Amino acid sequence: MDYDVLWTNLTLKQIQEKLKALCISVSCPVIKRLLKTCHFVKRKMRKCKTMKEVENRNTQFEYIKNLKNQFIKKNLPVLSIDTKKKEMIGNFFRDGVAFCKKAIGVSDHDFNSFAEGIAVPHGIYDVSKNICYLSIGTNKDTAEFVKDNIEYHWNQSIKEDYPKAKKMLILCDGGGSNSSSHYVVKERLKQLAENLKIQIVVAHYPPYCSKWNPIEHRAFSYISKKWQGVVFLNHNIIKELAEETTTKTGFSVKAYINTKIYQTGIKASEEFMEKIPVIFDKVLPKWNYKFNL
């Protein structure tokens, strides 16, 4: 916490009363102008303090930067992927506001047991083309879910932009369905490489650094704004709003609803663990590796 940052949550009226107790008479409009002159304005907290220093953090950032530049220079796909938090389907309250003639009435409790389903938004952001390929799952967030989403969008759209590509770079966090330590994730990515007949190079962002993953600030930040203040009565609403998301820089979204049922708790097969067909990089192999055909 910045203990040297001066702040107050007093209202203008409360400040006026405290000044009055000190025999200082001043109106609320003047107090407001004085606060502004002294650069006191209402501000939100900013998530900028690293919770934990991770060894080799900067080395990995430099490595990812060089990898991205190499792939982009050769017109090869650089895909930043991530899964956002699950959303309940139903007449539930959601943060944000929308223009309407009267307030939208929603349920007074947000219990999971009353939900008509869940939505699992998984994004694939093409760093060069400024396009997000969004999959809205209806079940679980697993390594197979991620593999299926990349395969679907590659076959439907992405490969058209890279007809001669023989390899792709995937940037992701290090936890959950993208875990850098779970071999089931590596097995699914190996299957993906074989299915797409393309070499896949993977680079994980270090722990506590997920906010630097391009999809977070270049895709999900805009899509989330489009979803604010809207009741998610069904998956189609989520899809349609996402596809309406655009920016002045040409950002766009292509979305689909993935209704496949996924099992959790699956581990890598014995055959995969015996062979471990993963080529680990010499630079921080726990975060960097690739899969050849």
Residue 37 and residue 105 in one domain: no
Residue 31 and residue 170 in one domain: no
Residue 40 and residue 97 in one domain: no
Residues 30-56: tens digit of each pLDDT:
999 999 999 998 888 877 676 677 899
Q: Which residues of 83-97 are buried (b: 16+ CB within 10 A; e: fewer)?
A: bbeebbbbebebeee
Q: Angle, nearest 10°, between helix axes 183-196 and 143-153? A: 20
Q: What percent of the chain has pLDDT above 90?
A: 85
Domain holding 21, by residue range, is: 1-49
Residue with tokens 């959303």: 87
Residue 33 and residue 172 in one domain: no
Residue 175 and residue 124 in one domain: yes
Residue 26 and residue 61 in one domain: no
**Phi/psi of residue 207, nearest 5 degrees:** -55, 145
Residue 147 and residue 269 in one domain: yes
Residue 11 and residue 100 in one domain: no
Residues 91-138: tens digit of each pLDDT:
999 999 888 888 889 988 889 888 999 999 999 999 999 999 999 999
Residue 33 and residue 168 in one domain: no
**In this model, does residue 3 exceed pLDDT 90?**
no
Question: For the chain, what is the mean pLDDT?
Answer: 94
Query: Mean pLDDT lowest for which of 1-5, 81-85, 218-222, 272-276?
Result: 1-5
What does the alpha-carbon distance between residue 175 and residue 277 come to, in Å, rounded to a whole number?
A: 21
Q: What is the CATH number of the domain that holds 177?
A: 3.30.420.10
Per the CB < 8 A criterion, the answer to whether 80 and 172 are in contact is yes
Residue 245 and residue 281 in one domain: yes
**In this model, does residue 2 exceed pLDDT 70?**
no
Per the CB < 8 A criterion, the answer to whether 196 and 103 are in contact is no
Q: What is the pLDDT of residue 54?
A: 83
Query: Among the three residues 11, 32, 49, which one is the final residue of a domain in this structure?
Result: 49
What does the alpha-carbon distance between residue 118 and residue 209 come to, in Å, rounded to a whole number?
A: 27
Number of independent structural domains in the chain: 2
Residue 32 and residue 104 in one domain: no
pLDDT band at 1 (very low <50, low <70, confident <90, very high): low
Say which DSSP state 286 is in.
T
Report the pLDDT averaged over residues 59-81: 97
Residues 159-208: tens digit of each pLDDT:
999 999 999 999 999 999 999 999 999 999 999 999 999 999 999 999 98
Residue 265 and residue 202 in one domain: yes
pLDDT band at 72 (very low <50, low <70, confident <90, very high): very high
What does the alpha-carbon distance between residue 15 and residue 24 come to, in Å, rounded to a whole number?
A: 11
